[in-house]
């Protein structure tokens, strides 16, 4: 009997500096994400001003046959976020998005994520139906204190969680109802809006979500499988030939569906490394030529630097 793939909602929170990365993500989804696995695609625009209509239309067109599933929302459509750094508000939006989602599960992506191999059901769930995510150690992790703080707040802290806990980087599969319950529980217990409490307590979205499941008395292994294929990311600190070669080799070896290039890494990439990424993108059919892929990187880099300089002058 043929197994019908589960449908997921894909959620990406973006801001204006990342619109071109979002367009690349859209193009990649058109190539590598089967329509039968998509319930909807939600883009939450966390920019200071609304996206220009022509730019929005151009991005939606990149989704191709998936365009009919795409909805753009503003941050205010999703949450009443207090004045805060964009890094904090995007975390809130990733959770508050659950209120607008109809599918049982949703997948959080960042604009830096793009698909380079076919997305298959086994990447997102185990044969028994449990959602799949990754775990990592927190003994020497930059977010160790965030994990300790969240679990202490929830009253479930144990040193054992420093050995293995869920990752803090997308892609991340979430159960929609659990997120809704988390939001309601925090808001009611604190007698304040979830958004305000999140900022005041300086939570971390993925750590809070997993911690809440533990607090609820649910064994994580009952609903999650921890054997998701690792998808490589080129971070700022690895924006060189060696880092690019390693990331591309890992993606190719495991045929990991997603590949990520952080915007600050793009700025730091030397020409030789840019050529490596451009060739990989061309080989994965994201661009018509290596030259056009290289132009994308150069244009993004120049725009990003100009915009950052403009923002610095306004301070």
Residues 269-292: tens digit of each pLDDT: 999 999 999 999 999 999 999 999
pTM: 0.95
Which residues constitute the domain of residue 166? 8-228
Q: Is 282 inside a domain boundary? A: yes
- Same-domain check for residues 238 and 211: no
Distance from C-alpha of 88 to C-alpha of 78, rounded to nearest angstrom: 14
Distance from C-alpha of 81 to C-alpha of 98, rounded to nearest angstrom: 15
Q: How many domains does the chain have?
A: 2
SS3 label, residue 156: coil
Distance from C-alpha of 214 to C-alpha of 26, rounded to nearest angstrom: 34
Contacts of 8 (CB under 8 A, 6+ apart): 37, 38, 39, 103, 105, 106, 107, 124, 173
Burial class (CB within 10 angstroms; exposed 0-12, middle 13-18, buried 19+) of 258: buried
- Same-domain check for residues 72 and 203: yes
Q: Are strands 172-175 and 105-110 parallel, antiparallel or unpaired?
A: antiparallel
Per-residue pLDDT of the chain in tens (315 residues, 90 and over written 9):
445 679 999 999 999 999 999 999 999 999 999 999 999 999 999 998 889 999 999 999 999 999 999 999 999 999 987 776 777 899 999 999 999 999 999 999 999 999 999 999 999 999 999 999 999 999 999 999 999 999 999 999 999 999 999 999 999 999 999 999 999 999 999 999 999 999 999 999 999 999 999 999 999 999 999 999 999 999 999 999 999 999 999 999 999 999 999 999 999 999 999 999 999 999 999 999 999 999 999 999 998 888 777 666 665
Q: Sign of dihedral through CA atoms 223, 227, 231, 236?
A: positive
- Same-domain check for residues 268 and 121: no
Three-state DSSP string of 99-153: HHCCCCEEEEEECCEEECCCCCHHHHECCCCCEECCEECCCCCCCHHHHHHHHHH
Q: Is 188 inside a domain boundary? A: yes
- Same-domain check for residues 257 and 208: no
Q: Is 108 inside a domain boundary? A: yes
- Same-domain check for residues 145 and 176: yes
What CATH number does residue 107 fall under?
Answer: 3.90.550.10
Contacts of 152 (CB under 8 A, 6+ apart): none
Q: Is 199 inside a domain boundary? A: yes
Q: Where does a domain end: 190, 207, 228?
A: 228
Distance from C-alpha of 164 to C-alpha of 25, rounded to nearest angstrom: 30
- Same-domain check for residues 109 and 208: yes
- Same-domain check for residues 159 and 252: no
- Same-domain check for residues 41 and 143: yes
Q: Where does a domain end: 210, 228, 246?
A: 228
């Amino acid at each position: 009997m043929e197994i019908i793939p589960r449908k997921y909602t894909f959620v990406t929170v973006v801001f204006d500096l990342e619109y071109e990365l979002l367009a690349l993500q859209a193009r990649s989804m058109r190539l590598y994400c089967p329509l039968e696995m998509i319930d909807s695609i939600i883009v939450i625009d966390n920019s200071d001003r609304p996206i220009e209509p022509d730019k929005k239309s151009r991005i939606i067109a990149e989704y191709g046959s998936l365009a009919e599933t795409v909805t753009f929302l503003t941050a205010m459509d999703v949450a009443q976020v207090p004045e805060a750094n964009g890094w904090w508000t995007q975390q809130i939006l990733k959770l508050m998005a659950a209120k607008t989602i109809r599918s049982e599960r949703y997948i959080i992506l960042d604009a830096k994520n793009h698909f380079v191999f076919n997305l298959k059901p086994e990447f997102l769930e185990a044969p028994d139906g449990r959602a799949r995510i990754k775990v990592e150690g927190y003994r020497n992790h930059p977010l160790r204190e965030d994990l300790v703080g969240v679990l202490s707040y929830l009253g479930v802290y144990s040193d054992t969680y420093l050995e293995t806990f869920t990752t803090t980087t997308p892609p991340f599969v979430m159960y929609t109802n659990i997120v809704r319950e988390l939001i309601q529980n925090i808001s009611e217990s604190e007698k304040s809006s979830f958004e305000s409490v999140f900022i005041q307590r300086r939570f971390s979205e993925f750590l809070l979500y997993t911690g809440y499941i533990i607090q609820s008395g649910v064994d994580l292994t009952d609903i999650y499988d921890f054997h998701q294929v690792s998808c490589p990311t080129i971070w700022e600190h690895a924006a060189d030939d060696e880092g690019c070669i390693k990331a591309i080799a890992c993606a190719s070896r495991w045929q990991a569906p997603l590949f990520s290039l952080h915007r600050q890494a793009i700025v730091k990439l030397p020409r030789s490394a840019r050529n490596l990424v451009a060739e990989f993108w061309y080989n994965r059919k994201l661009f018509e030529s290596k030259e056009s892929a290289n132009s994308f990187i150069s244009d993004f880099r120049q725009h990003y630097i100009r915009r950052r300089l403009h923002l610095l002058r306004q301070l």
